Homo-oligomer: A and B are copies of this chain.
Amino acid sequence: MEKAPVRICMIGAGRVGKNHSRALARVPGGKIVALVDPVADILAATGDEFGIEARFASLEEALDKVAFDAVIITTPTFTHRDLALTAAAHGKHVFLEKPMALDLAECDAIIEGTRRAGVVLQIGFMRRFSPEFVAAMHRIEAGEIGRPMMIKSTTNGPGLPPAWARDLRTSNGMLAEVNSHDWDSIRWLMGSNYERVYTEVANFKGAALGVDTPHFYDNAVVNMRFESGSLGTIAGICPCGYGYDARVEIIGEKGILQIGELQGEAIVVCTDRDHGLVTPVIRTWGERFAWGYIHELEHFVDCTRTGKPSRATGEDGRWAVAGVLAATRSLLEERPVTLREVLEADAADAAPWIGKAGGA
């Protein structure tokens, strides 16, 4: 017999909220029953687009008026802790977009709050559910390329992030907002935690785009050592303009494995031999990870039904935040920074740049 659908309150009606609503429409068993956004216009437009009638300016209001089982939180990072804790306190399962939170203290609060409430907590690391990442992970675990020695992870995004998402003080900036996925997936694929990171950044387009935020950067390369002794790099550029570019390369003692490619749809055209072959590039993250988004929500629906823990845990989210904090400290202090420095510091000391502008 058919199971009752998991009733979901979608928090955030912007770009990510729409992407997740679109993905959820392809997930049998999940159903959006309420939409929350403080911005009336966006709330109305997205509500109309997805046929969601129950619309609210706040989570509290939704909790008051509609029965649901779970929340999907797609709002800016600095809102994550409070929303997650409120939802958990009302017994709602929590799906939380990356990055998990601004600092480790917030991560700890979310982990503890959901644990105490006995609800599922899943972080939006959809790459862990993307078919080629899943297949790659199986092959690495099966020993196909031997012990991993080096990983290179690239995520370049086409457009300038919103103001809060490119400001160290309100979001930890690009390494957090664009490259959170790299932080998570390198740790996952390598089967080891990062131990030391060094970051170089550059600001090429800020001035032309009118960005005068302190420490703004649009290019970053981080290299790192893992606890296992292996090496890695994360490279990010945003805005890069040319597409959405997410690729990973892992080299083990026995061989190389590459995940992802620039090419989008399998179409090749040539109409000018001096110009050459033209093939679509992947344009957006929604296109790149279409199946990843579907499968991660399918997993979340399954976890909420069965009570099984999610495969993308709060601990995973916390590690990604820790990597960001270490890399940010490195770029500010122009020296390699160990994870231990971040993990053992007080919250205020670990990321002294946060909140200095008063939030968004």
Contact = CB atoms under 8 A, between A and B. Distances in A.
Given A229-B202, A257-B267, A273 B26 contact: no
Interface string A187-229: 0000000001010111111000000000000111111110001
Contacts of A67: none
Contact of A273 (B198, B271, B281): B281
A276 B278 CA distance: 6
A338 to B, nearest CB: 11
Given A202-B229, A222-B223, A241 B265 contact: no
Interface string A140-176: 0000111101101000101000000000000000000
A2 interface: yes
A272 B144 CA distance: 11
Given A51-B2, A242-B256, A200 B200 contact: no
A136 interface: yes
A98 B287 CA distance: 29
Interface of A: 1-3, 25-28, 51, 53, 131-132, 135-136, 139, 144-147, 149-150, 152, 156, 158, 196, 198, 200-205, 218-225, 229-233, 235, 237, 240-243, 245, 251, 253-281, 283, 294, 334-336
